[in-house]
Amino acid sequence: MSRPSCQASARWARHFSSSARCQQDSAQDAASRLLDTFAGKTVSRRQLIDGNQLQRLSLTLNRKFIGKHNVAERAPPAGTPVPPGYHLVYFTPDGVEADLGPDGSDRTYNAAAPFSRRMWAGGKMKWPSEKASICVGDEVEERTTLLSATAKKSRSAGEMVLVEVVKELEGAQGVAIVDKRSWVFRPEVDLSNASAPEPPRQTKQGPTLIEDVTGESTFPTRNFSWSPVGLFRFSALTFNGHKIHYNEGWTTAVEGHPGVIVHGPLNLINILNYWKDIHGQGQLPKEIVYRAMSPLYAGDKYQVHTASVEGAVGGRRYQILAEKDGIVCMKADIL
């Protein structure tokens, strides 16, 4: 199996996002071309796992300790295991600004135009072995393979393309993480029809709030309210130029949202942190299957909580929800 460079992958993406604009008019065509482009190909990258990046993510999450290491004072030393989900701030997009889409998003695995509006729909992560964990100071290889590209249609959103990729992260002790991601691509926005920006949303001022509360439930609930600053810091850490997470004018006038959007991967990490603190007992999860169901915005007050705990083959299955005013925004099952 050949392994083209990331630069080659980016060139393919630019080609199909620009030259195909006049050729593509259906989700089925866009899906087929993406499959043809990446058929039988795996993109490989290598990276040193840097403690500074891990430190800044932990501080963005309002967590001053990783294990016994106070990351408010210094970066975690070599050998510190990367907590579940924190690998998302490594292997960030390559390329210069001109390589990005009109909305600032990475176009490496985009469907062809006009299906360029990306939303993180869900996925599945597996940790095959505790012995193969990724640690600060390790040199790790990431291998990315396109699994599928499927035309979809709904009454509310019309045609779209569902794209699935899988990323394997391998260190010196073997494959440590298998990360399957699902993205939905909807038709691009017609900028000529963009409306004037709405008045600023009444967003809660002050720093991000993350706090545990106890009540009648068996397990604590964790309350969240992300500030625009917190979301901007996460965008910077993940080298994510997607404007919906920091540019309120674009998000409201062009995309039609009431405010900047909390990142799907950020809520995935929030859920994994909650599980680790409440249920983990010092162990790694075996897998998490998750689905984004409704957007959350800067200033929204929402909760992450345990919906159910059930017996399963190989251990207990925990259903963890991110919920706002009774609406489930992200659902995850963790083994």
pLDDT tens, residue by residue, 117-176: 899 999 999 999 988 999 999 999 999 999 999 999 988 778 999 999 999 999 999 999
Show the tokens assigned to 313.
Answer: 């083959």
CA 174, chain centre distance (Å): 24
Cα distances (angstroms) measured from residue 245 to each of 65, 199, 227, 248, 258: 26, 18, 11, 8, 12
Residue 20: predicted pLDDT: 38
Cα distances (angstroms) measured from residue 133 to each of 201, 222, 275: 42, 27, 18
Q: Reply yes or no on whether the pLDDT at 309 is more than 70.
A: yes
pLDDT tens, residue by residue, 18-48: 433 444 469 999 999 999 999 889 999 999 9
| Helix residue ranges per DSSP H, the chain | 6-18, 27-38, 51-60, 228-237, 248-249, 264-278
Neighbours of 135 (CB within 10 A): 20
Show the tokens assigned to 137.
Answer: 């100071």
Q: Reply yes or no on whether the pLDDT at 109 is more than 60.
A: yes
How would you label 12-23 residue by residue, b for 16+ Cβ within 10 Å and e otherwise?
Answer: bbbebbeebeee
In angstroms, the CA 295 to CA 290 distance is 14
pTM for the predicted model, two decimal places: 0.89
DSSP 8-state code for residue 317: E
What crossing angle do the helices spanning 27-38 and 6-18 adopt, rounded to 10°? 160
pLDDT tens, residue by residue, 190-218: 766 655 555 656 666 679 999 999 988 89
Q: What is the average pLDDT across 318-330?
A: 98
Residue 213: predicted pLDDT: 96
Residue 23: predicted pLDDT: 46
